Amino acid sequence: MRKTFQSRGNIELLSQRIVAVYGSREAPSVLEGDVALAARNMAMEEMTVAGGWQSRLEKCFLSSFVRVGRGYLISYAARKLEDRALSPAMNRMLDEKRLLQVAPDVATIRPTVKTVARRDALLLEQCHVVLFLYLSPGGQLAMLFEYLLAKGFPVYVLDHAFNRTWLKQGGLPFHADDTATLL
């Protein structure tokens, strides 16, 4: 069976260097300052970032990134695009051709494990670099981190004491004020 996806926005963003952004659901709130700084700096550099934007840290990143009014965003949903309302800032990005939304062509309204897996597989096929904001030990993102490292994929981790385990395991350090490392 052929897997199809829906899209809305500037499809040409897929030809740019894409940084996928992930953060575990259970993350220390102390990371939010560094995450917001990283997002603002990446937007100022007009980078293209992509993600599902589900966890608290991912939402913090997204909010700070969008607020700058620069940069390019790819939002990978795990449910139908018609079910997703855009904020005024996201509508502005859509009008300015700085936004692309992608989602599996599915009948379900709520995301399922299967649609989330399809979304993540597509995101990883299209990105060039992965940035982990935080990883919970033993979680799904920790398994993804290990898988990507084993495949030789460029994997960056926000340089913070809470992420030392992942940096020691081979994640490349990313400093919130040095976006050039991702280019």
Q: How far apart are CA 14 and CA 127, in angstroms?
A: 8
Q: What percent of the chain has pLDDT over 90?
A: 65
Reported in sequence order, the residue ranges of 24-178 that DSSP labels E, i.e. its strands, are 48-51, 72-76, 99-104, 129-134, 155-158, 172-174
The pLDDT assigned to 57 comes to: 96
pTM, two decimal places: 0.90
Query: How far apart are the two ends of the chain, measured CA to CA in Å?
Result: 36
Residue range 13-35, pLDDT digits in tens = 999 999 999 999 999 999 999 99
Residue range 96-109, pLDDT digits in tens = 999 999 877 665 66
Q: What residue segments make up the domains of the chain, in order of their start? A: 5-182
- Looking from the CA of 127 toward its CB, the CA atoms found within 13 Å total 29
Cα–Cα distance list, 14 to 50, 53, 128, 163 (Å): 10, 18, 10, 29
Averaged confidence pLDDT in the chain: 89
96 secondary structure, DSSP code:
T
Answer whether 45's CB lies under 8 Å from 69's CB.
no
CATH number of 5-182: 3.40.50.450
